[in-house]
Structure 1
């Protein structure tokens, strides 16, 4: 079964990998008895049967998923195997690894990933040494010429090939070329780096062609990273996606932040494409300009009025979240750790040259404070929602077919995947 860590009582905007709380979610040897395993299989079977109708549920009848879909460890394990490993997961942006030797590490679903620029292209490698499995580089980011395992000093080039394995010439039938770091299948689309863990997914770029056309005026591959905030959240990954994709909660959670400028009633969601969907919100009449004032330069190539007034919320299924505005693009990277724990990192991307603004640091500090405030408004209600999902009294709730259409779309995506086999 997968590692299931206890819910986190407080939230952090801090280093991604605290030493006392390793971010691991991968298969472990089961300690369950035969009876416990049979009970889990029975409970999962019943839950999957209850999810089947969501694959084709009419929008007018839309409800939330059953509460157990947010608390069940067995269902989370199935999501990992049927949604996350077979799918495309966004792990970074090209601005993080612009130069040769730049790298970023990320632990995702038990895999120790290494996003690196090898001078010719970006790769997503395993940072696990092919000798005795120690990581060849520590957690974080940096720039280097090669990776050397601290255990026995095996060394690897930026492309993952093995350079040196000390004293292995004494071993028979050893050839360093046969021991590269594992490389995961990856694609770069619109500046974002995606990984497919099982290596069998259909190509992604063609699936996102329509979304790429929508974003072309933002020139996303040229964006620069402006702010990065990380939160260790005690709730299910689907709750993060659901809350991001609907503006209905502006009425409550964001009463003083988003609702005055982007009222819930002026939001809507388009019909979903197979790989992505997008929702929108209009500025409150009379605030079409002030709603976007943040002290940041706007993207210079926005051509249409719709682009200059954009408040577009994208979900690349299952878990990439992207918020496009005229002066910044926010994207959320999710690391699901268990049924009730998700690490969420929020990035703010801005037009090239923003960091050269005269009052850059003051503006960035102000925007970081605002981003953190809004994120914590969401986190507060999401924590309450996860607690409520554990109650034996709750049942699937009726959704607003206009304002919560994106939840209905996500429900169908999840149900089709987990019930397919």
Structure 2
């Protein structure tokens, strides 16, 4: 891996004399390979909201750094996550999203599986010596939920999801995130490293420049956290989930604690997702790393469930969707330029500002997992 030890030492110094990470941290295929083995395959990662798959047989397929996977709700009402391949010769089983009813059938040789992963049908296998249907069901990932947010991991070793989240549930308790419902999402194919997206999401240094005509300049503080997450809180007496100076269309969530009333939390739950938690809603930036210079970014938005029954909900929600899409695309534009610049043979890490504290924290977390 092409990371110079002196550059790494400089990047992990106290903030007032620290420098940014070396270019290879974002451009080296060897670093991305190491991240796959030591980060993506060993930690919890966010998939979607549980209500996105309400009925038995509902499924959604994902391309993940660990390969294709599929989330499906069984006839027993449970969500399960499986490697998305047939146990015969490895064909992809499901694409996109939809409902398969009670059974998944391989499009190649028609092996079939119940929606709880058990092998159901396997044509012409009666003469296969030692063949065991029980042992040839779909391969499951570890799966867990917190307040309707569904997470998976490729290993069963390591901390539980609640241990991974640390004090995140406590900090967000008054937002009642379990009562949120996702009403909107969009997906962008981004030509940059996944870490650049999340670093950008926890600093306000850029907002008055990149987002001059949308969200504008912002001020933030960095609350202490416990567990595998970091945060900044953008200070504002009103939700910043819509644009302009008018009061947002939806009122604040009832019962917010005094800390939550101060502004919007922009968090990174390591390794790959940001939850932005405002006084009236939540949105996420979920990164699915594809390569060292390509990331699939899903942006999703949630509101308290009781808002959805309002007769004018759709009209009142539109300003939120507009803000989430416009700001995400502004960020993508600048981050793709940053990725290109990191490819310069003359690139040298620059000094960090006091406003880059969580950018540094993100990099240090990854370095620690890589053992660098």
TM-score by length of 2: 0.91
Alpha-carbon separation, structure 2, partners of 1:62 and 1:324: 29
* Deviation string, structure 1 residues 41-64 (Cα, Å, up to 9, x no partner): xxx1x4163454268522222221
Q: Please list, as runs of the form range in 1=range in 2, the aligned pairs for 1:223-372 lying within 5 A after superposition.
A: 223-259=180-216, 263-264=217-218, 266-283=219-236, 293-300=247-254, 302-372=255-325
* Deviation string, structure 1 residues 359-401 (Cα, Å, up to 9, x no partner): 2333344432222111111111111111111112221111112
Task: Classify the secondary structure of the residue corresponding to 1:103.
Answer: strand
* Deviation string, structure 1 residues 130-153 (Cα, Å, up to 9, x no partner): 111112222224352221112222
Q: After the TM superposition, which of the residue ranges 136-145 and 60-69 deviates more from structure 2?
A: 136-145
Alpha-carbon separation, structure 1, partners of 2:271 and 2:66: 18
Shift of 1:274: 4.1
Which residues of structure 2 form unaligned runs of 5+? none
Matched, 1:68 2:24: yes
Alpha-carbon separation, structure 2, partners of 1:276 and 1:292: 32
Shift of 1:163: 1.4
Q: Does structure 2 retain, via aligned residues, the 8 Å contact 1:95–1:223?
A: no
Matched, 1:114 2:67: no
Q: Paired residue for 2:9?
A: 53
Matched, 1:405 2:357: yes
* Deviation string, structure 1 residues 59-112 (Cα, Å, up to 9, x no partner): 222221012211111111111112111111111221212333222111101411
Task: Classify the secondary structure of the residue corresponding to 1:252.
Answer: helix
Shift of 1:197: 1.6
Shift of 1:272: 4.7
Alpha-carbon separation, structure 1, partners of 2:92 and 2:211: 42
* Deviation string, structure 1 residues 338-366 (Cα, Å, up to 9, x no partner): 11111100000111133332223333444
Matched, 1:214 2:174: no
Alpha-carbon separation, structure 1, partners of 2:311 and 2:369: 50
Give the structure with the larger strand fraction.
2
Q: Does structure 1 retain, via aligned residues, the 8 Å contact 2:29–2:292?
A: yes
Q: What is the RMSD computed on CA atoms of the aligned residues?
A: 2.3
TM-score by length of 1: 0.81
Alpha-carbon separation, structure 1, partners of 2:71 and 2:7: 36
Shift of 1:416: 1.5
Q: Does structure 2 retain, via aligned residues, the 8 Å contact 1:269–1:278?
A: yes
Q: Paired residue for 1:93?
A: 49
Q: After the TM superposition, which of the residue ranges 109-118 and 223-232 deviates more from structure 2?
A: 109-118
Alpha-carbon separation, structure 2, partners of 1:394 and 1:292: 43
Alpha-carbon separation, structure 2, partners of 1:292 and 1:122: 41
Task: Classify the secondary structure of the residue corresponding to 1:47.
Answer: coil
Out of 148, 156, 167, which is 1:199 matched to?
156
Alpha-carbon separation, structure 1, partners of 2:106 and 2:151: 26
CA gap 1:54/1:158 in 2 versus in 1, 3 angstroms: farther
Alpha-carbon separation, structure 2, partners of 1:284 and 1:352: 23
CA gap 1:362/1:79 in 2 versus in 1, 3 angstroms: same
Task: Classify the secondary structure of the residue corresponding to 2:5.
Answer: helix
CA gap 1:291/1:315 in 2 versus in 1, 3 angstroms: farther
Task: Classify the secondary structure of the residue corresponding to 1:248.
Answer: coil
Q: After the TM superposition, which of the residue ranges 46-55 and 388-397 deviates more from structure 2?
A: 46-55
Q: Does structure 2 retain, via aligned residues, the 8 Å contact 1:94–1:221?
A: no
Alpha-carbon separation, structure 2, partners of 1:417 and 1:252: 33
Which residues of structure 1 form unaligned runs of 5+? 1-43
Q: Paired residue for 1:159?
A: 116
Q: Paired residue for 2:370?
A: 418
* Deviation string, structure 1 residues 171-195 (Cα, Å, up to 9, x no partner): 3332321211000112212322222
Aligned residues: 368
Alpha-carbon separation, structure 2, partners of 1:130 and 1:294: 51
